[in-house]
Chains A and B, each alone.
Chain A
Amino acid sequence: MASTLSDLMLNDRGFAFDPASGETFQLSTTGLRLVRLLQQGMKPEEAVGYLVGEFEVDENTAWRDATEFLRALEQLGWISA
């Protein structure tokens, strides 16, 4: 049984604790930013726009990487497909 995204406990260094499984995770800087934006209820496409605005990345690269990241979150059960 995994938690949903809103249940995750995060710190500012990207350390994540899943209270349902008791497992811990490490998010990269951009991974942490995306998770926090998604926790606020933002849609993925909007969140990727934030990445492009805040980090030195072009939109295509950000989309490619975010797609892989969201797939990882789906497999963890933190977000639904």
Chain B
Amino acid sequence: MHTRAPYTRPTVQRLSQGPVNPFRHGASPACSEIDGVTVADLVKQHGSPLFVYSENTLRSLYRNAHRAFTRRYEDVQFAWSYKTNHLNAICRVFHQEGSIAEVVSGFEYEKARHNGIPGNQIIFNGPHKEKADLERAISEGAMIQVDNMDELLVLADMAKGRREALPIALRVHISTGGHVVWSKFGFNGDDGEVQQIIRRIIAIPQLRLIGLHTHIGTFILDPEWYQIATRKLVGLALEAEAMGAGPITYLNLGGGFASMARLHYQYLPPEQVTPAVDRYAEAICDTITGMWPANRPLPRLYLETGRALVDDAGYLIASVVAVKRKSIHDPLQAALVAYGKNSAPLVAHGSQNALVLDAGINLLYTTTWYQPRIFPVKPCLDAPVPTTVYGCLCMNIDVIREEAPLPNLNTGDQVVIHPVGAYNQTQSMQFITYRPAAVLVGQDKRVHLIRKRENLEYVQGMEVLPAHLSGS
């Protein structure tokens, strides 16, 4: 019987020095399975698009990071950042591994409690905490990290009449020299504001300062910034004690460690740029142990790293729903043609491949800052070429990647987008289509549905029709 060969589109591409290597013909990298489960099976069972998380990767990222810190520091506690990914299955993997919870709203606090985390193992962070949420958190012994003076005064009021002073920590923003200061978070640690607040706390008998927190930013590629931040935070802690605040029993260095994502305009690939978590651990732990008085027990070290623990464990499977050509203007080529220095312009220079996927940027919020890798699922015969990858939204801004190196794909082919485990689930919005299901590939390769695909009932569930509009 005559069998037909796999099809790729007929193309011709002018070779120029650098980006194209003819010997890569037939060598486009593909991703046909995730943790031993084929993408074809995942799509068959759960449809496309589909978020997929690897339990193996979640646990190994956690253990690797935890080991990096506990090797250098005795009293380390990770707190899972709910805002990074709040799917209960994901949170519970980290809780099983030993993480407590870090939440930044009443909603996240409720979620953490629902996941079985007692109040005294919840760090309550963030710039806005509702009074009712603070009351609950205080009554359950949560660790409150105070962001602003208004919150401090509310807490002082709530703490009136307590038999024991209410323990609190302060959020502090710090300049690390090479980065925009995240000055939204807490009090200024560089200009004396924090010391002023500490003096105020000392004067309020119902409050007791026990910790300091800083979160210097996100996707920090230079561990030295943590060294600087830690040095300043330890300095502030010792200064607070000298001022009479009492013992500072914990320091919280927040999150911000980089994953294997790639920023837009990041020249080198993540393999060469993203530091090993050990480098962050070294910068933080060695600084505290080097500065802390030798005759005193070291403060507990809290870390709220989110992205570095979950991003690389998350994938989005999507399907090609249309193939297109996109016009591009190449000024250099046009100039060469005008001066007769080159042959006639080639269509490949005047246009490039484009795809439309069945998933849009409403699911991939982080593509604003990062360019995920996009792999074809089927091993492809032809060389990758620059391809614009559009989402399915009816909006011109819905571009997942301006130029992804992809072979010629066809309608119906699947792609895998990675890494997308951090922030996309929590920041995605329902828009035009239903948001997709999410599954967790377990360590035994069993596939668990952890979030159902949305439907009309879910989307309309919170709507209320006025009586005069409710007739048929």
Alpha-carbon distance A23/B8, docked complex (angstroms): 24
Flag whether B22 is at the interface (Cβ < 8 A).
yes
Q: How many residues of B contact A (CB 8 A)?
A: 30
Binary interface profile of A, 31-52, with partner B (CB < 8 Å = 1, else 0)?
Answer: 1011100000000000000010
Q: How many residues of A contact B (CB 8 A)?
A: 39
Are A29 and B383 also in contact (CB < 8 A) when A13-B22, A21-B343, A72-B348 are?
Answer: no
Scoring A21, A57, A77 by chain B CB atoms within 10 A of each residue's CB, the highest score goes to A57
Tell whether, in the assembled complex, residue A56 and residue B6 are in contact, meaning their CB atoms are under 8 Å apart. Answer: yes
Tell whether, in the assembled complex, residue A61 and residue B15 are in contact, meaning their CB atoms are under 8 Å apart. Answer: no
Point out the residues of chain A lying under 8 angstroms from B343, CB to CB. Answer: 1-2, 18, 20-21, 23, 76-77
Are A28 and B4 also in contact (CB < 8 A) when A14-B25, A76-B344 are?
Answer: no
Flag whether B472 is at the interface (Cβ < 8 A).
no
Tell whether, in the assembled complex, residue B5 and residue A76 are in contact, meaning their CB atoms are under 8 Å apart. Answer: no
Write the nearest CB–CB distance from A63 to chain B, whole angstroms.
11
Nearest A residue (CB) for B6 = A56
Tell whether, in the assembled complex, residue B14 and residue A28 are in contact, meaning their CB atoms are under 8 Å apart. Answer: no
Binary interface profile of B, 79-103, with partner A (CB < 8 Å = 1, else 0)?
Answer: 0000000000000000000000000
Binary interface profile of A, 53-72, with partner B (CB < 8 Å = 1, else 0)?
Answer: 11111000110011011011
Tell whether, in the assembled complex, residue A73 and residue B9 are in contact, meaning their CB atoms are under 8 Å apart. Answer: no
Alpha-carbon distance A54/B5, docked complex (angstroms): 6
Flag whether A24 is at the interface (Cβ < 8 A).
yes
Interface residues of B (CB under 8 A from A): 4-15, 20, 22, 25, 325, 342-348, 350, 381-383, 408, 410-411
Pick 10 A–B contacts, CB within 8 A, sort by A: A23-B14, A24-B22, A33-B10, A34-B10, A35-B12, A57-B7, A65-B9, A68-B347, A72-B347, A77-B344
